[in-house]
Chain A
Amino acid sequence: AQSVSQHNHHVILSEAASLELGCNYSYGGTVNLFWYVQYPGQHLQLLLKYFSGDPLVKGIKGFEAEFIKSKFSFNLRKPSVQWSDTAEYFCAVIHTGRRALTFGSGTRLQVQP
């Protein structure tokens, strides 16, 4: 069965620091990859997604992610975080033949002013 691993459970950064959140998946076939964000008290929102093409994907709010097929990774990055980026971040994967997303355990990002 496919699985998704997020290595960082809780990350604390100061404003303007750079961010990289790790995500690895286990499925060996064709996958679609997503990063979702959940702000406190709100529903999950899509940050960015990768289906095919350029492995460097740019999303909303200055986030980007790079798909490295050989490493089964899809790490999320942002060069300079803001206090408003404080949230829970989830990596998710879907592959052909499976209709639902499989989520990682999430990373809680806390940005200190």
Chain B
Amino acid sequence: GAVVSQHPSRVICKSGTSVKIECRSLDFQATTMFWYRQFPKQSLMLMATSNEGSKATYEQGVEKDKFLINHASLTLSTLTVTSAHPEDSSFYICSARSTPEYTEAFFGQGTRLTVV
């Protein structure tokens, strides 16, 4: 299957700083990318959906000014957690899909964010 690479896999940052997570589709062009958040022993919760070159669509309850998403190219999307706080500590997973009609999505390995 297609490969989605997410970086970094783990990051620890101080409260109040910003953290950027990258998601790359290595062998296909991702017209749509998704960002999920996973709490311990819970499911993946969709945060936002982004299409290349356009603004992301955020799910209800997700602060778009806090979780900045950029999908500047067909192979790269970034999630920036701004002014991070301990409650932002979580596992963030990106997913990418090649066409709007093709519904199978491929997942990155996730990023464990710890805010201290």
Contact = CB atoms under 8 A, between A and B. Distances in A.
A51 B102 CA distance: 11
Given A102-B46, A106-B43, A94 B108 contact: no
A49 B106 CA distance: 13
B52 to A, nearest CB: 13
Nearest to B34: A100
A105 interface: yes
Interface in B97-111: 97, 100, 103-110
B104 A46 contact: yes
A105 B32 contact: no
Interface string B1-37: 1001010000000000000000000000000101010
Contacts of B49: 99-100
B59 to A, nearest CB: 9
B44 interface: yes
A99 B104 contact: no
Interface in A55-113: 90, 94, 99-106
Interface residues of A, number: 22
Contact of B93 (A34, A44, A51, A106): A44
B42 interface: yes
A51 B103 contact: yes
Nearest to B51: A99
A45 B93 CA distance: 13
A104 B43 contact: yes
B32 A99 contact: yes
A9 B110 CA distance: 21
Contacts of B46: 100-102
A36 B107 CA distance: 10
Given A44-B107, A99-B100, 4 more contacts: A32-B103, A46-B1, A49-B104, A51-B103
14 contacts: A34-B104, A36-B107, A43-B93, A43-B107, A44-B107, A90-B44, A99-B34, A99-B49, A100-B34, A100-B95, A101-B95, A104-B43, A106-B42, A106-B43
